[in-house]
Amino acid sequence: MQSNAVTQTENLTAAIQRIDANHHWHPFTDTAALNSKGARVIVRGEGVYVWDSEGNRIIDGMAGLWCVNMGYGRKELIDAAKQQLDELPYYNHFFQTTTTPAAVLAQEIASVTPGDLNHIFFANSGSEAVDTLIRMIRHYWAVEGKPEKNVLIGRKNAYHGSTIGGTSLGGMGAMHKQGGPYLPNIEHIDQPYWYGEAGDLDEEAFGLKAARALEEKILEVGPEKVAAFIGEPIQGAGGVIVPPASYWPEIQRICRKYDILLAADEVICGFGRTGSWFGSQTFGIEPDLMSMAKGLSSGYMPISAVAVGDRVANCLIEKGGEFFHGFTYSGHPVAAAVAVANIRLMKQEKVVDYVADDIGPYFQQQLRAVLADQPLTGHIEGAGLVAGIALVKDREAKQFFADEGTVGTLCRDHCFENGLIMRAVGDRMVLSPPLVISRKEVDELCAKVRKCFDLTLDSVRTQGL
Ligand SMILES: *Cc1c(COP(=O)(O)O)cnc(C)c1O
């Protein structure tokens, strides 16, 4: 055991950094590299801003980790948690019992999901929701008398969480190199990344080609063996990859043709991010199942859910008997109470309309305007309040940097130093600010993005990259 006593000469930031370095192992982090410089300590949040322990105000261009959609410090959400903690901090939903927040939340979610996605199964994280999808889908086909129909098809560079199930279904090469072997009977097709991978094809043609990779894979595996296709409407952690408009309708057509379930991982796109309640609506599809998390509670409490359509739900409920699946905290009353308050607040403030008609288009337009003549900016894609920007060495020749990730990391570090949180995914910079951001705050965000891109360009030139 190391001594954690705070010495009198040490300031608070240094003390927390030291304790953190000694004991706290961070997720998705090179811990040795972090510990050598010390983690930034975030102490407070309000609206679209967070403050660190040194008093710096930082504009949060990522809404935490794609989740603080209603912004920091919302009294409605805080009060809902406090009230529920006072009344009933915990009870489970295993023992022939329910709690009011879980029942009401299931109804609230069903009130905003598209189609007949009316049956809600709760979990605590996006990864658990994805694991639930996997088990539920395979169990569904078994109950239907087709246990051999158990192959799941996902995509390369997709992110579905970091449990064994989520990692298996996801298509992140770096993740697959660690901690395997992964689940059998999972296949991956190419992602619909038009700017990076389409060659000479226009968007429409490339979208169809990328979707038809699914049909090829289904025929290769055998339709009688394929259970479902699962994808994020817009790939988030993969760098905000927005598929061409032709992609999702074609994916849906192919799934229906071969009787394959379509599951949308709405963990980022859900709850208004793209200007609809769900990304599936933005792209005009009706999936059979959806996973959701992050924006469900605006990140105030950990909670996730799977919304299931009548086909799968009625089969499993009527013919499946007991579904041996669930979590101690499935539908946790405090988390559920916060999520209920969050959805009601979103409805009351008409946040989805605000993203669709006002702040989303404004953000997309301002970002393009401010970066129009910025030499590192290869291509900007996005929808509503999410955007991905490809950093390139030469925009005319569409030439990427040789050592992918170096320039992205440089840019991320300039943002860090300049009061802006923007994430790097390789050489793509991504933004996903709180949905309640104002026009003035969008202007500030975009000005900071421009400044940090210019600083990055200076670094690129100095270092001869
Ligand atoms: C974040 C994310 C997950 C995983 O959610 P956790 O709560 O981190 O487990 C799954 N799918 C998508 C699309 C995500 O963005």
Query: How far does the centroid of ligand 1 lie from the alpha carbon of residue 222, in Å?
Result: 29
Give nearest CA residue, ligand 1 atom 11: 160
10 belongs to a structural domain: no
Tell me, yes or no, whether 405 and 419 share the same domain.
yes
Of ligand 1's atoms, which has the minimum distance to the CA of residue 158? Answer: 13
> Left, alpha or beta for 418 (phi > 0: left; psi -120 to 50: alpha)?
alpha
Tell me, yes or no, whether 214 and 338 share the same domain.
yes
Of ligand 1's atoms, which has the minimum distance to the CA of residue 265? Answer: 13
Tell me, yes or no, whether 453 and 365 share the same domain.
yes
90 belongs to a structural domain: yes
Residue 47 per-residue DSSP state = B
Pocket test for ligand 1, best of 62, 122, 160 (most atoms within 8 A of CB): 160
Amino acid at 402: A
Report d(CA 427, CA 19) in Å as an integer.
32
Whose tokens are 């959701």? That residue is 292
**DSSP secondary structure string, 393-433?**
SBTTTTB--SSTTHHHHHHHHHHHHTTEE-EEETTEEEE--
Query: How far does the centroid of ligand 1 lie from the alpha carbon of residue 465, in Å?
Result: 33
Tell me, yes or no, whether 339 and 381 share the same domain.
no
Do 255 and 287 touch, CB atoms closer than 8 A?
no
Query: How far does the centroid of ligand 1 lie from the alpha carbon of residue 171, in Å?
Result: 13
Residues with CB under 6 A from ligand 1: 125-127, 130, 159-161, 232, 236-237, 265, 267-268, 293
Tell me, yes or no, whether 65 and 116 share the same domain.
no
Q: What stretch of H or E contains 291? A: strand 289-292
Of ligand 1's atoms, which has the minimum distance to the CA of residue 291? Answer: 11
**CATH number reported for the structural domain that contains residue 132 in this entry:** 3.40.640.10
Tell me, yes or no, whether 138 and 226 share the same domain.
yes
Tell me, yes or no, whether 253 and 337 share the same domain.
yes
Domain that holds residue 453: 40-73+350-463
Q: Which of 348, 372, 406 is at the close of a domain? A: 348
Residue 238 neighbours by CB under 8 Å, 6+ apart? 157, 158, 159, 172, 191, 232, 425
119 belongs to a structural domain: yes
Query: How far does the centroid of ligand 1 lie from the alpha carbon of residue 6, in Å?
Result: 36
128 belongs to a structural domain: yes
pLDDT tens for the chain, 465 residues: list them. 455 555 556 799 999 999 999 999 999 999 999 999 999 999 999 999 999 999 999 999 999 999 999 999 999 999 999 999 999 999 999 999 999 999 999 999 999 999 999 999 999 999 999 999 999 999 999 999 999 999 999 999 999 999 999 999 999 999 999 999 999 999 999 999 999 999 999 999 999 999 999 999 999 999 999 999 999 999 999 999 999 999 999 999 999 999 999 999 999 999 999 999 999 999 999 999 999 999 999 999 999 999 999 999 999 999 999 999 999 999 999 999 999 999 999 999 999 999 999 999 999 999 999 999 999 999 999 999 999 999 999 999 999 999 999 999 999 999 999 999 999 999 999 999 999 999 999 999 999 999 999 999 999 999 999
Tell me, yes or no, whether 425 and 333 share the same domain.
no
Give nearest CA residue, ligand 1 atom 6: 126
Beta bridge partners of 292: 305
**CATH number reported for the structural domain that contains residue 69 in this entry:** 3.90.1150.10
Tell me, yes or no, whether 363 and 452 share the same domain.
yes
Query: How far does the centroid of ligand 1 lie from the alpha carbon of residue 163, in Å?
Result: 10
272 belongs to a structural domain: yes
First to last CA, the chain: 44
Q: Which of 328, 348, 368 is at the close of a domain? A: 348
Query: How far does the centroid of ligand 1 lie from the alpha carbon of residue 166, in Å?
Result: 8
Residue 338 neighbours by CB under 8 Å, 6+ apart? 77, 80, 81, 84, 297, 298, 300, 301, 303
Q: Which of 348, 373, 398 is at the close of a domain? A: 348
Query: How far does the centroid of ligand 1 lie from the alpha carbon of residue 237, in Å?
Result: 9
6 belongs to a structural domain: no
Query: How far does the centroid of ligand 1 lie from the alpha carbon of residue 267, in Å?
Result: 6
388-441 pLDDT, tens digit per residue, is: 999 999 999 999 999 999 999 999 999 999 999 999 999 999 999 999 999 999
Tell me, yes or no, whether 336 and 363 share the same domain.
no
The total of structural domains in the chain comes to 2
156 belongs to a structural domain: yes
Pocket test for ligand 1, best of 159, 269, 273, 289 (most atoms within 8 A of CB): 159
209 belongs to a structural domain: yes
Pocket test for ligand 1, best of 155, 294, 306 (most atoms within 8 A of CB): 294
Query: How far does the centroid of ligand 1 lie from the alpha carbon of residue 168, in Å?
Result: 13
pTM: 0.97
Give nearest CA residue, ligand 1 atom 14: 267
Tell me, yes or no, whether 176 and 247 share the same domain.
yes
Tell me, yes or no, whether 239 and 386 share the same domain.
no
